[in-house]
Amino acid sequence: MPPYAYLKNQFVPLEEAKIGVMTHAFLYGTGCFEGIRGNWNADERQIYLFRAREHYERLHQSSRLLKIKLKHSVQDLCNITTELIERGDFQQDIYVRPIAYKSSEIAGNLRLHELEDDLLVFVIPFGNYLDPNKGIHCQVSSWRRLDDNVLPSRAKITGGYVNSVLAKTEAIESGFDEAIMLTDDGHVSEGSGENVFLVQGGKLITPAVSDNILVGITRSSVMELAKNELGVETVERSIDRTELYLADECFLTGTAAHLTPVTRVDHRPVGSGQVGPITKKLQGLYFDVVRGKVKKYQGWCLPAYAKVKAKA
């Protein structure tokens, strides 16, 4: 079945979901978005949307910062998403991209007020964004992370992701897998689309919210899993660049990246240069949780299908 999108308050085939070339969000980046993972559980023939409500709550918050009137409630958005998945009849891992944006077709107007707003949601198949198994090699980017007073980092604003695109492009073209960006004062901030964690002395260490990070939903989930299931505490504080080189372990978290081990930074091995024991335990637990296999955390997983899919 062809994939569908939700645009202008109706469901349309994805190939027909178009916006005009003068759309304000296209010209000026005045939109905000979320990325939501749907994880296929082959045993149950079910797709589980990971923390969909929290993602849509954050979309509402981002919309407020951009003066976008998002008329759909969190429950409305969840219902739209599950219907899109039903219509597409997906039986694999998927990615949901909702975008709230300034839809007025107008040029030469640098403002947020007195403009029309709209919502777009689409679903596509989506596998691994980064290799979750062997560990990746990261570069500390020459591009600094945008400061919250330049462009709000706690919101997923479409135009702001040019910052991430520049850092990721530099890393890939330099032979690395991913970038890690620093704040303007030289502290570790985040990857191009992921939060950063170190393991040092049996504890997780991750940049504080004040270091211009997106307060990640996967980030908070991993912190909770580490505390509840492994008895590992998380310290939120500023991290110097050299701590990346001296940590026992390092990993990235994010909707696209899941929980991805980092085994080298700037041509230096992290710890032993292999995936560390705490990272490995957390990763295994996380993947079970997002596929709805851990009863204790099933409240984080929204079933996409009202009835489980029949085997082909």
> What is the set of active-site residues?
156
* Of 214, 220, 202, residue with least CA distance to 259: 220
Using only C-alpha atoms, what is the Rg of the chain?
Answer: 20
Strand intervals (E) in 133-257: 136-140, 178-182, 188-191, 195-200, 203-206, 234-236, 249-254
- Regarding beta strands 178-182 and 136-140, do their DSSP bridges make them parallel or antiparallel, or are they unpaired? parallel
Distance CA 154, CA 122 (A): 23
Strand segments, DSSP code E, in the chain are 4-7, 10-13, 31-33, 36-41, 46-50, 94-102, 117-125, 136-140, 178-182, 188-191, 195-200, 203-206, 234-236, 249-254, 258-265, 268-269, 301-303
Helices then strands, counting H and E runs in the chain, come out as 7, 17
